Each structure stands twice: as structure tokens, then as C-alpha cells.
Structure 1
Amino acid sequence: MDKELSYGSDYKFIPATSINNGLGIEVLPDLFAYTVQIVNFCLVGHPDQKDFVLVDAGMPGSAEEMIAVTEERFGSGARPKAIILTHGHFDHVGAIIELVNHWDVPVYAHELELPYLKGEKGYPEPDPTVEGGLVAKLSPYFPNEPINLGDRVQALPSDGQVPFMSGYRWVPTPGHTPGHVSFFRAEDRALITGDAFVTVKQEYLYKVYTQELEISGPPRYLTPDWDTAFQSVKKLAALKPSVAVTGHGQPLEGEQLTRSLEKLVNEFYTLAVPEYGKYVKKNLH
């Protein structure tokens, strides 16, 4: 393994799961979403072609499963052109070093995420005091130290294009993290949101396990800037997506997606923003 690549010392397997663990969904012919324990990653590209990318990199300890899923869809020995990140939280980069070393591919993320991916800076600590259930209470035990991908990670192009994802552009959706991005394809209005909004209440253990469908803002215990998160949700809603794959929860499409996003925008400060927590400001909005 390349010595310059390293996880934080707190990186470890997290024994959390859901009924969707191991479930893959072909959302579109060239958009495949797969759930590793409690988080989704995407394979973007037609399965009969070799030009595809991986969006996000799963949970700690999931590399072998992710490689197997990729080869099942694209063939033995298949590897993506790149790994594209929505952001750098542990459940989106959990297997990235093993994947980078196995596939020898570049990683792309927003410029503002690079300090967290080059070992220079840690994200704000998770907030166990935030309104929510057991997952929120357990959040201090989640890996949070910065990982170091060295020169294997680089900034997404400033013109909004996404390497090897033809037709998509990256959309800045900060709030959950400073450099969080989502990916949108205007041709069919397909949207990959990361954690800008999700379709499960990620703070509650029962809802995470059952994957109860419920549109929500980003996970509360790891979101330090709620006003900015709201602006990001409004931005995505204005794109009028036809289908959305979120970082947590089931994909949404059609009228259900439209109605859900409209509700989230209109009721963001009651649906998404917690009533209390160390990152909740009394003068929000």
C-alpha cells in the first residue's frame, strides 16, 4: 500500500446496518445505486461499456464488496475511470484507500474538501446533543479524523464539468460540509445528491434500519451550517430533478420526488433543522 495514503487513527468498521444492506437498484440504464450497510454509492455508466465512474466510496471495511459489485455490473477486472466524491465524511470515503490502490484511479472532490482529504484538517466534531435518536447519540464514535489521499485526490474542474461523467455537472451544495457537491444531468434531470438531502431520518436507529421513506435534510449530527444547507436544498429543488439518488435512503422519482422536495423547501426549518444542538443558532433564517 502506498505509504502516503492513510486513514485517520479512528477509522474502524461501524456495526450499523439496514434492511437495504446489499441491495442494488438500476435507477436508470446508466445509473446504478447500491447500499453498503447504511450508505449508498453509485456506479455511473452503461454496463456494456467500460467508461464508468464510482461516486462515493462506502463504509470502512467495504472495499471487497464494492469491488465485487462493480465487477458484477461491468465484468471481471472492470475498474472505474475515477472515483468522484460528494464529500469526505467517513461513510462516503470509508473504503477509498483500498479502492484507489486496487484500481489505481484518480479521485476528484471539490476544492474546499481537499484539506479534509489530504490530512490537513478535520471536520467539526459530530454533535451527540442534537435533537434525534440513537444514531445521533452514538455519533462521537464515528470516524472523524481527516484521511490523507496525498496527490491521488484533485479538485473538480472549476467549469462545473465532472471528469468521465458525460452530461453531468457538479453543483455546489455546501452546508453539510464546506465543499459538498451534488451531480446533475440536464438531459434527463438525473440527480445524485450525496447528503445535501436524504430520504431517511438518519438520526434515528429504527428509521435507519427500516429505511422508512421520509425526505429530510442532511444528517443532523454532522451538519454545522443549516442556513447554507437550506440554500443548497433550494438550489437542487429549482433544478426540478426527475429522479434523485441520495446518500442515505431510497431513490425518489417523478411526482413523489417533486412533492417531497417542495415540502422540504417549504418546511425546511421544521422538517430538517433540529430544535436544539450545538450547531443550531437561535437566529437561524
Structure 2
Amino acid sequence: MNQEPFEEPKDEIIDMEHAVAEEILADVAYYRTLMVNVAFIGDPGTEDWVLVDCGIGHYAKRIIEAAEKRFGNIAPKAILLTHGHFDHVGSAKKLAQHYDARIYAHPFEVDYLTGKRSYPVGDSTVGGGLMSILSPFYPTNPVDLSKWIHPLPDDGTVPHLKHWRAIHTPGHTPGHVSFFRHKDRTLLSGDAFITVKQESSMAVFIQHQHVHGPPAYFTPNWIEAEKSVKKLAALNPRTALTGHGLPMEGEIFQEQLLELAMNFKELAIPKHQSKLH
């Protein structure tokens, strides 16, 4: 369980040319680390920017390269985590060391980020494809980011992001959070919902866009997960970047998110588990 899947090439053969953030809005961009997104919030060239999530392991140099192309040789004001699963914190320690930056997460997530608690092992019985079958072998042991970790404020404010709010969206993990900016209804939902069928390796490969529930193999609390999706749908977000999948915006996205919220049991919860909820 300790060994990370998806081993990356040795540093000396990493292709930095393609380490470029893709812009969603003028001050929001993302970079995909194999199968999971990290976000950059801040206008290009600014000294006031924030990194959201840290991707899988062995991607620190590419994330730094993408950041430097967007902001120059400027460290982020903070690193924010939606949650602590291996594919969102895999490069966190190296990034925190490089930038000497504070890492913020929800208080309920801190134990999983300071070596005190482990996540449940992935559930291969949820079906849907190779990603689910392999999930029991994904790392679940806690990382230890004690040197850098700080709890997000209880009032929902986000350090260094004046117009954003942190929204507690548990279910996928106890301390999962999403980040929302009301003025233009931009949402970073982490894995509360995603825009690709993450259980299927083929869907992940082709990145077919469609709103889906959280990755089923790593979601232990479906009651809370449903509440979280309904909470986010009620915000009527216009643009969303999720932990997995391509960004979505506009009416089609809003319709699909509302449909997921209204029919969560049928669309998101694995059939063999839906009877329990």
C-alpha cells in the first residue's frame, strides 16, 4: 500500500515544454498531473497567487515550471487543499519545501495530512472499469505535512483570496472543501463532483466531459456526498474546475449538475451500496 502507482519518468527526462497551465478565466488556470488537476488562482505576472491541490507524486517540477511560466519566479502566497487523497497531495511536500509555503486544509482533514489517520482502502466492488479494480492498491497512508499545515478559518474565508469562500463538502472525505467565488460564480469543486467518469480508465484517457458524482471507489459516505452536491448545485455555478476532468461552463454544465443533484442516488451511488442509503 505504501508504493505509489503511476510512477513518473526520472527527472532528467521530464519534458518541461508541455508543463503549461491552461487558462479558464483571466485569473484561473489549471494543469493536469496525469489524471488530476491542480489550479492556479491569480492574474498572470502577479505576486499574489495561490495554488490549489498538488497533484500526484513526481510532478512537483512540472507544477513549478507551469507556475513560473504564468507568474515568474514568485512563490504562491499559500497552497490550498480540497482534501488529502494521494492524487491531490502527492507533490505537496516537495512543493511546500520549494516554496516554503503554508498549506491550508479543513480542520477535519488535518489528521490525514499529519500522519495521524489513514483513509479507507479503495473499494474495487463499485464497478465501472480498471480505475476501480486497481483502487485497493492506491496509497491510503497519511502524508506528514505537519511542518506546513494550517487549518482553514472556521468562517469560510480563504487566506489570500478575498473574494473566495471555502465550502465544507464532505462525503468523499470528512474534511473535503470546495472553493467558490460568488461574483462570477466560479467553482473549484475538488472531488465533490467531477466531470469525467473516473472509475473508467477509457473515460479518463479520452476526457469525455459530463458531470459525475465523486470517484466512487474512494467515497465512503454517500449521504454526506449527496448533501454536498446539492449544496454546490444550489449555488448555481457558471464555471467549474473539478479535481478530475476538463473544466465546464454554461447551461449544459448547469443542467447536468442539477440533474446529478436531483437524481444522485441513481446517477452516483453504486447500486450495491444504494440500498444502504
Q: What TM-score results when the alignment is normalised by the length of structure 2?
A: 0.93
Matches within 5 A, 1:127-166: 127-166=123-162
The 10-residue stretch of structure 1 (218-227 or 256-265) with the greater mean CA deviation from structure 2 = 256-265
Is the CA contact 1:200–1:208 (under 8 Å) kept in the aligned structure 2?
yes
* 1:11 Cα offset (Å): 4.4
One-letter amino acid matched to 1:283:
L
CA distance in 2, matches of 1:272, 1:225: 12
- Counterpart among 33, 37, 45 of residue 34 in structure 2: 37
Is the CA contact 2:193–2:229 (under 8 Å) kept in the aligned structure 1?
yes
One-letter amino acid matched to 2:136:
P
1:92 matched to 2:84:
no
**Over 6 Å off, 4+ runs:** none
* 1:22 Cα offset (Å): 5.6
DSSP-derived class of the 1:34 partner: strand
DSSP-derived class of the 1:273 partner: coil
1:14 matched to 2:6:
yes
* 1:150 Cα offset (Å): 1.2
* 1:23 Cα offset (Å): 6.6
Is the CA contact 1:13–1:59 (under 8 Å) kept in the aligned structure 2?
no
* 1:206 Cα offset (Å): 0.5
CA distance in 1, matches of 2:256, 2:113: 33
Q: What TM-score results when the alignment is normalised by the length of structure 1?
A: 0.91
CA distance in 1, matches of 2:201, 2:65: 28
Counting matched residue pairs gives: 268
Is the CA contact 2:5–2:138 (under 8 Å) kept in the aligned structure 1?
no
CA distance in 2, matches of 1:13, 1:134: 13
The 10-residue stretch of structure 1 (148-157 or 87-96) with the greater mean CA deviation from structure 2 = 148-157
Is the CA contact 2:19–2:65 (under 8 Å) kept in the aligned structure 1?
no
Residue-by-residue CA offset, 1:158-215 (whole Å, 9 max, x unaligned): 1110001120010010000000000001111110000000000000010011111121
Larger helix fraction of residues: 2
Equivalent residue for 1:244? 240
Unaligned runs of 5+ in 1: 1-8
CA distance in 2, matches of 1:23, 1:99: 17
Give the CA RMSD over aligned residues. 1.5
Taking a change above 3 Å as real, the CA distance of residues 68 and 13 of structure 1, as seen in their structure-2 partners, is: farther
One-letter amino acid matched to 1:118:
T
* 1:82 Cα offset (Å): 0.8
Residue-by-residue CA offset, 1:13-53 (whole Å, 9 max, x unaligned): 5159xxxx967321110000111101001000111311000
CA distance in 1, matches of 2:239, 2:182: 11
